[in-house]
Protein backbone atom coordinates (compact mmCIF):
# COMPACT_ATOMS: atom_id res chain seq x y z
CA UNK A 1 0.00 0.00 0.00
CA UNK A 2 2.82 2.37 0.85
CA UNK A 3 4.52 1.54 -2.45
CA UNK A 4 1.34 2.49 -4.29
CA UNK A 5 1.34 5.77 -2.37
CA UNK A 6 4.84 6.65 -3.50
CA UNK A 7 3.74 8.24 -6.79
CA UNK A 8 1.67 10.91 -5.00
CA UNK A 9 3.39 14.27 -5.38
CA UNK A 10 0.69 16.73 -4.24
CA UNK A 11 0.59 15.51 -0.61
CA UNK A 12 -3.05 14.45 -1.02
CA UNK A 13 -3.59 10.72 -0.64
CA UNK A 14 -6.88 8.91 -1.29
CA UNK A 15 -6.69 5.30 -0.10
CA UNK A 16 -9.27 2.51 -0.16
CA UNK A 17 -8.90 -0.83 1.65
CA UNK A 18 -11.21 -3.24 3.50
CA UNK A 19 -11.62 -3.29 7.30
CA UNK A 20 -8.75 -5.05 9.04
CA UNK A 21 -6.22 -4.42 6.26
CA UNK A 22 -4.25 -1.77 8.14
CA UNK A 23 -5.51 1.59 6.88
CA UNK A 24 -4.84 3.14 10.28
CA UNK A 25 -1.22 1.96 10.23
CA UNK A 26 -0.72 3.23 6.68
CA UNK A 27 -2.19 6.60 7.66
CA UNK A 28 0.05 6.83 10.72
CA UNK A 29 3.14 5.89 8.73
CA UNK A 30 2.43 8.53 6.10
CA UNK A 31 1.88 11.09 8.86
CA UNK A 32 5.14 10.00 10.56
CA UNK A 33 7.07 10.50 7.33
CA UNK A 34 5.63 13.98 6.95
CA UNK A 35 6.49 14.96 10.53
CA UNK A 36 4.79 17.67 12.55
CA UNK A 37 1.36 17.62 14.15
CA UNK A 38 -1.45 15.45 12.79
CA UNK A 39 -5.20 15.90 13.12
CA UNK A 40 -7.38 12.83 12.56
CA UNK A 41 -11.13 13.19 11.95
CA UNK A 42 -13.28 10.07 12.37
CA UNK A 43 -17.06 9.43 12.25
CA UNK A 44 -17.31 7.67 15.66
CA UNK A 45 -15.63 7.76 19.05
CA UNK A 46 -14.68 4.06 18.69
CA UNK A 47 -12.66 4.78 15.53
CA UNK A 48 -11.28 7.94 17.13
CA UNK A 49 -9.90 5.90 20.04
CA UNK A 50 -8.38 3.28 17.70
CA UNK A 51 -6.03 5.94 16.38
CA UNK A 52 -4.83 6.72 19.89
CA UNK A 53 -4.04 3.08 20.65
CA UNK A 54 -2.34 2.47 17.31
CA UNK A 55 0.37 5.04 18.07
CA UNK A 56 1.79 2.55 20.61
CA UNK A 57 2.75 0.27 17.69
CA UNK A 58 5.16 3.00 16.60
CA UNK A 59 6.79 3.24 20.01
CA UNK A 60 4.80 6.21 21.29
CA UNK A 61 3.07 6.54 24.62
CA UNK A 62 -0.56 7.19 23.61
CA UNK A 63 -1.44 9.12 26.78
CA UNK A 64 1.22 11.75 26.12
CA UNK A 65 1.74 11.54 22.35
CA UNK A 66 -1.93 11.69 21.33
CA UNK A 67 -5.06 13.40 22.62
CA UNK A 68 -8.79 13.74 21.97
CA UNK A 69 -8.70 17.18 23.59
CA UNK A 70 -7.56 20.02 21.33
CA UNK A 71 -6.73 22.10 24.38
CA UNK A 72 -3.97 19.69 25.48
CA UNK A 73 -0.61 19.80 23.64
CA UNK A 74 -0.01 16.63 21.58
CA UNK A 75 1.58 15.47 18.35
CA UNK A 76 -1.55 13.64 17.20
CA UNK A 77 -5.10 14.85 17.80
CA UNK A 78 -7.88 12.34 17.16
CA UNK A 79 -11.43 13.73 17.20
CA UNK A 80 -14.77 13.06 15.50
CA UNK A 81 -16.28 14.97 12.60
CA UNK A 82 -18.94 16.15 15.04
CA UNK A 83 -16.34 18.57 16.38
CA UNK A 84 -16.99 20.65 13.25
CA UNK A 85 -20.77 20.59 13.55
CA UNK A 86 -23.89 18.50 13.98
CA UNK A 87 -24.32 15.91 11.18
CA UNK A 88 -28.08 16.02 11.71
CA UNK A 89 -28.11 19.68 10.68
CA UNK A 90 -26.05 19.21 7.50
CA UNK A 91 -28.91 19.89 5.05
CA UNK A 92 -30.00 23.03 6.90
CA UNK A 93 -26.40 24.25 7.12
CA UNK A 94 -25.97 23.73 3.37
CA UNK A 95 -29.04 25.85 2.66
CA UNK A 96 -27.80 28.53 5.06
CA UNK A 97 -24.55 28.60 3.09
CA UNK A 98 -26.52 28.88 -0.15
CA UNK A 99 -28.41 31.87 1.30
CA UNK A 100 -25.10 33.58 2.11
CA UNK A 101 -24.11 33.00 -1.51
CA UNK A 102 -27.41 34.52 -2.67
CA UNK A 103 -26.83 37.56 -0.44
CA UNK A 104 -23.36 38.03 -1.89
CA UNK A 105 -24.78 37.92 -5.43
CA UNK A 106 -27.43 40.54 -4.62
CA UNK A 107 -24.83 42.68 -2.84
CA UNK A 108 -22.90 43.06 -6.11
CA UNK A 109 -25.89 45.04 -7.44
CA UNK A 110 -27.53 46.46 -4.33
CA UNK A 111 -24.60 46.97 -1.98
CA UNK A 112 -25.52 47.42 1.66
CA UNK A 113 -29.25 46.98 0.97
CA UNK A 114 -28.79 43.35 -0.14
CA UNK A 115 -30.00 41.86 3.14
CA UNK A 116 -33.17 43.98 3.06
CA UNK A 117 -33.91 43.04 -0.55
CA UNK A 118 -33.52 39.34 0.09
CA UNK A 119 -35.68 39.61 3.20
CA UNK A 120 -38.44 41.32 1.18
CA UNK A 121 -38.40 38.54 -1.43
CA UNK A 122 -38.56 35.90 1.31
CA UNK A 123 -41.52 37.68 2.92
CA UNK A 124 -43.54 38.72 -0.15
CA UNK A 125 -42.57 36.12 -2.76
CA UNK A 126 -41.88 32.83 -0.97
CA UNK A 127 -42.02 30.73 -4.15
CA UNK A 128 -39.46 32.95 -5.86
CA UNK A 129 -37.30 32.89 -2.72
CA UNK A 130 -37.43 29.09 -2.71
CA UNK A 131 -36.37 28.96 -6.38
CA UNK A 132 -33.47 31.32 -5.72
CA UNK A 133 -32.33 29.32 -2.72
CA UNK A 134 -32.49 26.04 -4.66
CA UNK A 135 -30.53 27.63 -7.52
CA UNK A 136 -27.77 28.71 -5.16
CA UNK A 137 -27.69 25.26 -3.55
CA UNK A 138 -27.01 23.84 -7.03
CA UNK A 139 -24.30 26.44 -7.67
CA UNK A 140 -22.69 25.61 -4.34
CA UNK A 141 -22.75 21.86 -4.97
CA UNK A 142 -21.33 22.35 -8.46
CA UNK A 143 -18.47 24.41 -7.06
CA UNK A 144 -17.66 21.66 -4.55
CA UNK A 145 -17.34 19.22 -7.43
CA UNK A 146 -15.47 21.41 -9.90
CA UNK A 147 -13.56 23.84 -7.68
CA UNK A 148 -14.91 26.79 -9.69
CA UNK A 149 -14.77 30.25 -8.14
CA UNK A 150 -18.26 31.33 -7.05
CA UNK A 151 -17.21 34.62 -5.48
CA UNK A 152 -17.02 33.48 -1.86
CA UNK A 153 -14.32 31.42 -0.17
CA UNK A 154 -15.48 28.28 1.69
CA UNK A 155 -14.92 29.89 5.10
CA UNK A 156 -17.20 32.80 4.11
CA UNK A 157 -20.02 30.35 3.39
CA UNK A 158 -19.91 28.80 6.85
CA UNK A 159 -21.82 29.96 9.90
CA UNK A 160 -19.96 31.71 12.73
CA UNK A 161 -19.95 28.60 14.93
CA UNK A 162 -18.33 26.35 12.33
CA UNK A 163 -15.91 29.08 11.28
CA UNK A 164 -14.80 29.47 14.89
CA UNK A 165 -14.12 25.73 15.19
CA UNK A 166 -12.06 25.81 12.01
CA UNK A 167 -10.06 28.75 13.36
CA UNK A 168 -9.40 26.73 16.51
CA UNK A 169 -8.08 23.80 14.47
CA UNK A 170 -5.97 26.06 12.26
CA UNK A 171 -4.25 27.48 15.35
CA UNK A 172 -2.83 24.04 16.19
CA UNK A 173 -0.24 24.26 13.39
CA UNK A 174 -1.35 21.00 11.81
CA UNK A 175 0.87 19.65 9.03
CA UNK A 176 -1.17 16.52 8.23
CA UNK A 177 -4.96 16.07 8.16
CA UNK A 178 -6.35 12.51 8.12
CA UNK A 179 -9.97 11.99 7.04
CA UNK A 180 -11.01 8.53 8.18
CA UNK A 181 -14.10 6.95 6.59
CA UNK A 182 -13.92 9.82 4.13
CA UNK A 183 -16.84 8.52 2.03
CA UNK A 184 -19.09 10.45 4.44
CA UNK A 185 -17.77 13.75 3.08
CA UNK A 186 -20.53 14.84 0.72
CA UNK A 187 -22.25 18.22 0.33
CA UNK A 188 -22.06 20.22 3.59
CA UNK A 189 -19.25 18.13 5.04
CA UNK A 190 -17.25 18.51 1.84
CA UNK A 191 -17.61 22.28 2.20
CA UNK A 192 -16.58 22.26 5.88
CA UNK A 193 -13.55 20.05 5.31
CA UNK A 194 -12.51 22.06 2.24
CA UNK A 195 -12.62 25.23 4.33
CA UNK A 196 -10.50 23.49 6.97
CA UNK A 197 -7.98 22.31 4.36
CA UNK A 198 -7.67 25.83 2.98
CA UNK A 199 -7.09 27.25 6.45
CA UNK A 200 -4.40 24.64 7.14
CA UNK A 201 -2.67 25.99 4.04
CA UNK A 202 0.09 23.55 3.04
CA UNK A 203 -0.99 20.63 5.23
CA UNK A 204 -1.02 17.18 3.66
CA UNK A 205 -4.40 15.42 3.40
CA UNK A 206 -4.93 11.65 3.76
CA UNK A 207 -8.37 10.24 2.95
CA UNK A 208 -9.06 6.68 4.12
CA UNK A 209 -12.11 4.54 3.39
CA UNK A 210 -13.14 0.90 3.31
CA UNK A 211 -16.02 1.55 0.94
CA UNK A 212 -16.04 4.12 -1.81
CA UNK A 213 -19.30 6.06 -1.77
CA UNK A 214 -22.18 5.01 -3.95
CA UNK A 215 -23.64 8.46 -4.50
CA UNK A 216 -27.16 8.69 -5.87
CA UNK A 217 -26.16 11.19 -8.53
CA UNK A 218 -23.16 12.05 -10.68
CA UNK A 219 -23.12 15.42 -8.92
CA UNK A 220 -22.46 13.82 -5.54
CA UNK A 221 -19.73 11.65 -7.03
CA UNK A 222 -17.96 14.72 -8.39
CA UNK A 223 -18.56 16.42 -5.04
CA UNK A 224 -16.61 13.67 -3.30
CA UNK A 225 -13.76 13.30 -5.80
CA UNK A 226 -13.47 17.08 -6.00
CA UNK A 227 -12.26 17.05 -2.41
CA UNK A 228 -9.84 14.09 -2.52
CA UNK A 229 -9.30 13.32 -6.20
CA UNK A 230 -9.26 9.79 -7.63
CA UNK A 231 -8.17 6.79 -5.54
CA UNK A 232 -4.37 6.61 -5.35
CA UNK A 233 -4.07 3.14 -3.85
CA UNK A 234 -6.57 0.34 -3.31
CA UNK A 235 -6.54 -3.10 -1.71
CA UNK A 236 -9.36 -5.42 -2.73
CA UNK A 237 -11.28 -7.54 -0.26
CA UNK A 238 -10.94 -10.76 -2.30
CA UNK A 239 -7.16 -10.35 -2.44
CA UNK A 240 -6.95 -9.85 1.31
CA UNK A 241 -8.97 -13.03 1.89
CA UNK A 242 -6.79 -14.98 -0.55
CA UNK A 243 -3.65 -13.87 1.30
CA UNK A 244 -5.12 -14.90 4.65
CA UNK A 245 -5.16 -11.40 6.09
CA UNK A 246 -8.94 -11.45 6.50
CA UNK A 247 -11.16 -14.42 7.32
CA UNK A 248 -13.13 -15.81 4.37
CA UNK A 249 -16.85 -15.24 4.24
CA UNK A 250 -19.74 -17.39 3.15
CA UNK A 251 -23.02 -16.20 1.77
CA UNK A 252 -26.00 -17.87 3.38
CA UNK A 253 -29.70 -17.42 3.84
CA UNK A 254 -31.89 -18.81 6.59
CA UNK A 255 -35.61 -18.27 6.15
CA UNK A 256 -37.81 -18.18 9.22
CA UNK A 257 -41.36 -17.13 9.87
CA UNK A 258 -42.54 -14.26 12.03
CA UNK A 259 -44.20 -14.86 15.35
CA UNK A 260 -47.60 -13.19 15.92
CA UNK A 261 -46.18 -10.20 17.83
CA UNK A 262 -43.62 -9.49 15.11
CA UNK A 263 -46.23 -9.76 12.38
CA UNK A 264 -48.57 -7.42 14.27
CA UNK A 265 -45.78 -4.88 14.75
CA UNK A 266 -44.89 -4.88 11.05
CA UNK A 267 -48.54 -4.58 10.03
CA UNK A 268 -49.11 -1.61 12.32
CA UNK A 269 -45.89 0.04 11.15
CA UNK A 270 -46.80 -0.45 7.48
CA UNK A 271 -50.27 1.00 8.06
CA UNK A 272 -48.89 4.01 9.91
CA UNK A 273 -46.26 4.60 7.23
CA UNK A 274 -48.87 4.36 4.46
CA UNK A 275 -51.12 6.89 6.19
CA UNK A 276 -48.27 9.35 6.64
CA UNK A 277 -47.10 8.88 3.05
CA UNK A 278 -50.63 9.47 1.72
CA UNK A 279 -50.87 12.65 3.77
CA UNK A 280 -47.80 13.97 1.95
CA UNK A 281 -48.51 12.71 -1.57
CA UNK A 282 -52.15 13.85 -1.51
CA UNK A 283 -51.46 17.16 0.20
CA UNK A 284 -51.67 20.49 -1.63
CA UNK A 285 -47.97 21.44 -1.13
CA UNK A 286 -46.75 18.28 -2.87
CA UNK A 287 -49.27 18.55 -5.70
CA UNK A 288 -48.32 22.20 -6.29
CA UNK A 289 -44.65 21.23 -6.31
CA UNK A 290 -45.23 18.37 -8.77
CA UNK A 291 -47.29 20.55 -11.13
CA UNK A 292 -44.62 23.26 -11.04
CA UNK A 293 -41.93 20.74 -11.92
CA UNK A 294 -43.93 19.44 -14.87
CA UNK A 295 -44.63 22.96 -16.13
CA UNK A 296 -40.94 23.84 -15.85
CA UNK A 297 -39.99 20.70 -17.78
CA UNK A 298 -42.51 21.56 -20.52
CA UNK A 299 -41.10 25.09 -20.85
CA UNK A 300 -37.56 23.72 -21.11
CA UNK A 301 -38.61 21.34 -23.88
CA UNK A 302 -40.03 24.14 -26.00
pLDDT for 172-201, tens place per residue? 889 999 999 887 776 677 778 888 888 887
Same domain as 72, residue 7: yes
Of 209, 242, 275, at which residue does a domain stop? Answer: 242
Same domain, 232 and 96: no
204/271 same-domain check: no
Count of domains observed in the chain: 3
Q: Which long-range contacts (CB under 8 A, 24 or more apart) does 93-99 make?
A: 93/159, 93/162, 93/188, 94/137, 94/140, 94/187, 94/188, 94/191, 95/133, 95/137, 96/159, 97/140, 97/157, 97/158, 97/159, 97/188, 97/191, 98/133, 98/136, 98/137, 98/139, 98/140, 99/133, 99/136
Instruction: Examine residue 254 and state whether it is found in any structural domain, yes or no.
Output: no
In a domain, 43, yes or no: yes
Are residues 169 and 295 both part of a single domain? no
* Shared-domain flag, residues 76 and 181: yes
**Domain containing residue 60:** 2-84+159-242
In a domain, 232, yes or no: yes
Same domain flag for 71 and 187? yes
Residue where a domain terminates, one of 191, 207, 242: 242
Same domain assignment for residues 71 and 98: no
- Report the CATH number at residue 16: 3.40.50.300
Tallying the residues shown for the chain, one arrives at: 302
Q: Is residue 153 included in any domain, yes or no?
A: no
Rounded CA separation 256/202 (Å): 57
In a domain, 154, yes or no: no
Confirm whether 291 is domain-assigned: yes
Task: Give domain status of residue 145, yes or no.
Answer: no
Question: Both 226 and 182 in a single domain?
Answer: yes
Could you tell me if 236 and 198 lie in one domain?
Answer: yes
The predicted pLDDT at position 221 comes to 57
Q: Give pLDDT, residue 238.
A: 82
Radius of gyration, alpha carbons of the chain: 24
Residues of the chain predicted below pLDDT 70: 86-90, 144-148, 155, 186-187, 213-226, 250, 296-302
Would you say residue 222 lies in a domain? yes
Residue from 209, 199, 115, 203 nearest 162 by CA: 199
Residues facing residue 176 across a β-bridge: 38, 204
**pLDDT reported for residue 49:** 94
Verify that 204 and 223 share a domain, yes or no.
Answer: yes
Amino acid sequence: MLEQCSHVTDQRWHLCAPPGSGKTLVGLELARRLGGRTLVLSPTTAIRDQWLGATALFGAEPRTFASTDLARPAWLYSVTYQLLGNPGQAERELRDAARRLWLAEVAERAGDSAADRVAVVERDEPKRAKRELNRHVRVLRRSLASGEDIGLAPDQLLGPGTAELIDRNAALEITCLVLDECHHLLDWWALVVRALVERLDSAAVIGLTATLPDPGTAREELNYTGLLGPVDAELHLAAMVAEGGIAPWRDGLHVTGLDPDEAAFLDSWATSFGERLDAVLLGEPFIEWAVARIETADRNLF
